[in-house]
Amino acid sequence: MNADEMISRLSGPLSLRRRVATVAVLLGGLFGAAFVGLLWLTEPVLPVRTQLAFGGLVLVGLGWAGYGGWVLSRRTPLFALDRVIAGWLALAATGLLAGSTALVAVTRGGVHPAAYAMVGVLVVVAVGNLVRARASRGALLRRKRELGG
């Protein structure tokens, strides 16, 4: 087996399972952004904080839809780059949630401790996914260099 064959085995096209999951991410992002956007448009008078929250949710949905479209449109090996980008998107969305929770806590004088715990768990999971994705990408790129690719 030569280096090109090994590289193609390491980074072949997306499996059916990954394609289905990516389509679900794309559609979930699109439908989520459309639903929140339509809800936002049909409510004529909303507080500024609610409008900011709706805008953030629309951006998060469009971000996931863009990610799904990008992954599905790629025809070259990604070497786990898609997972790193998904990790950053998840961390950004979780950061938006953490910032919103902190803003609510400051303006209202506190939030239920379960909200803090949930945000903390989500941040830890998002960071863990990003670290794992970066390590996986690094291992694949090292292997590619070893094979002379």
**Cα→Cα distances 73→11, 14, 51, 68, 96, Å:** 16, 11, 33, 9, 28
The pLDDT tens digits of the residues spanning 97-142 come to: 888 888 888 888 878 888 889 989 999 999 999 999 999 989 988 8
Quick one: 24 exposed, middle or buried, by C-beta within 10 A (0-12, 13-18, 19+)?
A: exposed
CA 116 to chain centre: 21
CA dihedral for 17, 19, 21, 23, sign (positive or negative): negative
How many distinct structural domains can be found in the chain? Answer: 1
Amino acid at 138: G
Q: Which of 4, 14, 5 is nearest to 78 (CA)?
A: 14
The pLDDT tens digits of the residues spanning 6-47 come to: 656 655 666 778 889 889 999 999 999 999 999 999 988 899
Instruction: State residue 95's pLDDT score.
Output: 92
Q: Looking at the predicted structure, is the pLDDT value of residue 76 above 90?
A: no
Boundaries of domain holding 103: 3-146
**Tokens 């980008």 belong to which residue?**
85
Residues 90 and 129 sit within 8 Å (Cβ to Cβ): yes
